């Protein structure tokens, strides 16, 4: 396995063309990866080494470009980005590939989408990994309206809000469709209730960087779930935790016993 760009394929769901890759051992246990806001399958899972890590460990590695992101279609309608709708895209990909159930791992917004996927279709989810999102999944992750404003601003120079600047710079760096991302951030923040989280009884690993000021406590979320374990990713913030070796090792060990 290597860090070069894998081959992407397309499928259609709800009239949108959605991109994905399907790599690793075709006979291995499938892992479905769901990336975070303003990211992509490439930026979230290939560049930080997840495809190589999971592929080398013998897994079939599947990752979707969420609508509005990467190589997938990018509607500008904010109603297109509610998490249950994006979760249906991921289930449609499993259907497209003929996969009855998979390990599902999401980072940040992708963790939220994974939770909605597991609520709607628990039979499709062997295990869950929530990266970069802890109790914020239930309690919220702060005021994100300035991020939509930052994405719509004429240029980065016009943005003063710190987190807004971070995401605007990231969107510029990844050459994203900023209007699609602004629409997405407005409606993709739907919370999961404590009662809903308690229904997620599949084995779950929750991993958050100790310097992450977005995610909220992984331990506080794990306590609400029947079969969840939390780990801290030492010294990492929201952007850097995703590729950390502590995170990768924890996931490999988690999968080994399931």
Please name the residues in contact with 249: beta carbons below 8 A apart, sequence gap of 6 or more.
none
Any domain includes 180: no
Any domain includes 83: yes
Helix H or strand E encompassing 18: strand 16-24
Any domain includes 36: yes
List the CATH number of the domain containing 16: 3.40.50.1820
- 6-65 per-position pLDDT tens digit: 999 999 999 999 999 999 999 999 999 999 999 999 999 999 999 999 999 999 999 999
Any domain includes 161: no
State yes or no: pLDDT of 243 exceeds 60. yes
Any domain includes 176: no
- Number of domains observed in the structure of the chain: 1
Please name the residues in contact with 103: beta carbons below 8 A apart, sequence gap of 6 or more.
29, 30, 31, 32, 59, 125, 126, 127, 129, 255, 258
Residue 211 belongs to domain spanning: 9-139+191-256
184 close to 65: Cβ distance less than 8 angstroms? no
- 105-138 per-position pLDDT tens digit: 999 999 999 999 999 999 999 999 999 999 999 9
- 131-181 per-position pLDDT tens digit: 999 999 999 988 888 999 999 999 999 999 998 999 999 999 989 999 999
Any domain includes 85: yes
Any domain includes 224: yes
What is the residue-wise DSSP string for 48-80? TTHHHHHHHTT-EEEEE--TTSTTS-----GGG
Any domain includes 154: no
- pLDDT at residue 3 in the model: 56
């Amino acid at each position: 396995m290597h860090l070069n760009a894998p081959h992407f394929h397309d499928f259609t769901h709800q009239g949108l063309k959605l991109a994905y890759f399907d790599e690793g051992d075709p006979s291995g246990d499938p892992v479905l990866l769901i990336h975070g806001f303003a990211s992509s399958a490439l930026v979230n899972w290939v560049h930080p080494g997840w495809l190589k890590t999971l592929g080398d460990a013998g897994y079939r590695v599947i990752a979707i470009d969420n609508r509005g992101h990467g190589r997938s279609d990018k509607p500008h309608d904010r109603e297109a980005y509610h998490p249950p709708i994006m979760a249906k895209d991921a289930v449609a990909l499993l259907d497209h590939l003929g996969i009855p159930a998979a390990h599902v791992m999401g980072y940040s917004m992708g963790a939220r989408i994974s939770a909605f996927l597991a609520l709607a279709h628990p039979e499709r989810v062997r295990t869950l990994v929530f990266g970069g999102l802890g109790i914020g999944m239930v309690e919220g992750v702060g005021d994100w309206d300035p991020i939509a404003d930052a994405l719509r601003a004429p240029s980065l120079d016009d943005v003063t809000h710190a987190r807004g600047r971070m995401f605007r710079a990231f969107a510029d760096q990844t050459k994203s469709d900023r209007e699609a991302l602004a629409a997405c951030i407005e409606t993709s923040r739907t919370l999961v209730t404590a009662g809903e989280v308690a229904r997620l009884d599949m084995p779950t690993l929750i991993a958050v960087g100790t310097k992450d000021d977005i995610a909220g406590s992984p331990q506080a979320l794990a306590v609400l779930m029947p079969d969840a374990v939390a780990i801290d990713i030492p010294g990492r913030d929201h952007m850097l935790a995703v590729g950390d070796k502590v995170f990768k090792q924890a996931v490999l060990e988690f999968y080994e016993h399931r």
